């Protein structure tokens, strides 16, 4: 089955610091893009709205957290 993994990644000016946020995994490209659109205005993400990425991936088992968005309210709001 094909899934779409969304993450937010950027490197700070110091170059030795990077920030990686695993946003979620979705069963459609539309759901992945919808999650990005929702998060672009949230705390932290709004400073770098162009740093969202989607990776197409294949998994043989359905992910446990399918279609669940983490960090719904910004950088400091991880929800599982």
Q: Nearest 5°: phi and psi at 67?
A: 60, 25
What would the pLDDT profile of 27-71 be if each residue is shown by its tens digit?
999 999 999 999 999 888 888 899 999 999 998 888 888 999 887
Q: Predicted confidence band at 18 (pLDDT cuts at 50, 70, 90)?
A: confident
pLDDT of residue 80: 41
Domain positions in the chain are 2-58
pTM of the model: 0.80
Above 50 in pLDDT, residue 79?
no
pLDDT of residue 15: 65
Cα gap 14→20, rounded to integer Å:
15
């Amino acid at each position: 089955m094909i899934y779409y993994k969304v993450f937010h990644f950027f490197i700070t000016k110091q170059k030795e610091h990077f920030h990686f946020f695993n946003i979620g995994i979705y069963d459609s490209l539309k759901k992945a893009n919808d999650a990005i659109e929702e998060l672009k205005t949230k705390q932290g993400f709004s400073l770098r709205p162009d740093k969202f990425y989607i990776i197409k991936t294949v998994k043989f088992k359905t992910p446990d957290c399918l279609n669940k968005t983490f960090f719904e309210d910004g950088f400091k709001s991880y929800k599982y």
